[in-house]
């Protein structure tokens, strides 16, 4: 009993709390991202995601555990791809690009919502410990969401940006891109491991975060004026 008490007293509860916050933020980011793909495809005429139970906020339907672990550990991860059947689209190339863009777009909107909520917390609830923890979680959520959205816009398979690029390219180049997805995916992983993408992604992420903070900082002031 004494050993157990000593272990509890020496545990780093703050680190554990930060780890749990990071895990929850990753789950939310990935779930929203994949749900957005499924909803966009469904609205454009493809019910495949719905038939496979992917139009849900249940993270267990979307999470790839290896991808989640890597997102938490290295900032780069993935979820289970939402199934899409191009044959159900009226305009396959354009609709596939819109479906692909829905994922990163949802992450940017999620970051805006998190920072907007954080502006309210900072204005009305930052004096309490619970408010400080909530503000920390919302900041983590926004940073992860922006990073995930940006990363997925890279125009290399299997990321969403490659599907947008396929729509923009002429059919011959688009077909070449589709045929060589395996090699281009390998090139993506090489770029990640070498660290070539870290600097530009960090720069863009910081710029977007500063812009989002500027765009949402007036929310707390506006609510206070109305109240």
Catalytic positions are 34
d(CA 11, CA 20): 15
d(CA 8, CA 128): 25
Q: Hey, what are 70's tokens? A: 């890597």
Q: What is the DSSP string of 9-62?
A: HHS-HHHHHHHHHHHHHHHHHHHHHHHHHHHHHHHTT--HHHHTT-SSS-GGGT
**In 10 A of CB 189, how many CB atoms?**
11
Select from 102, 65, 66 the least CA-distant residue to 82. 102
Q: 150, 159 in Cβ contact below 8 A?
A: no
Q: Hey, what are 157's tokens? A: 């398979």
């Amino acid at each position: 009993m004494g050993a157990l008490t000593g272990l509890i007293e020496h545990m780093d509860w703050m680190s554990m709390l930060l780890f749990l916050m990071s895990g929850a933020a990753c789950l939310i980011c990935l779930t929203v991202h994949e749900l957005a793909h499924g909803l966009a495809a469904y609205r454009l005429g493809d019910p495949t995601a719905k038939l496979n139970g992917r139009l849900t906020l249940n993270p267990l339907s979307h999470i790839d555990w290896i991808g989640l672990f890597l997102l938490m550990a290295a900032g780069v991860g993935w979820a289970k791809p939402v199934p899409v059947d191009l044959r159900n689209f009226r305009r396959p190339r354009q609709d596939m690009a819109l479906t692909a863009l829905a994922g990163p777009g949802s992450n940017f909107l999620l970051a805006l919502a998190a920072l907007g909520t954080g502006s309210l917390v900072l204005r009305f609830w930052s004096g309490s410990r619970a408010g400080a923890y909530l503000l920390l979680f919302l900041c983590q959520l926004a940073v992860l969401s922006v990073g995930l959205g940006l990363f997925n816009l890279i125009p290399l398979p299997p990321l969403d940006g490659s599907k947008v690029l396929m729509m923009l390219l002429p059919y011959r180049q688009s077909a070449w891109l589709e045929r060589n997805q395996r090699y281009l995916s390998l090139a993506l992983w090489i770029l990640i491991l070498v660290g070539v993408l870290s600097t530009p992604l960090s720069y863009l992420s910081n710029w977007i975060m500063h812009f989002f903070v500027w765009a949402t900082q007036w929310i707390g002031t506006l609510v206070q004026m109305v109240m």
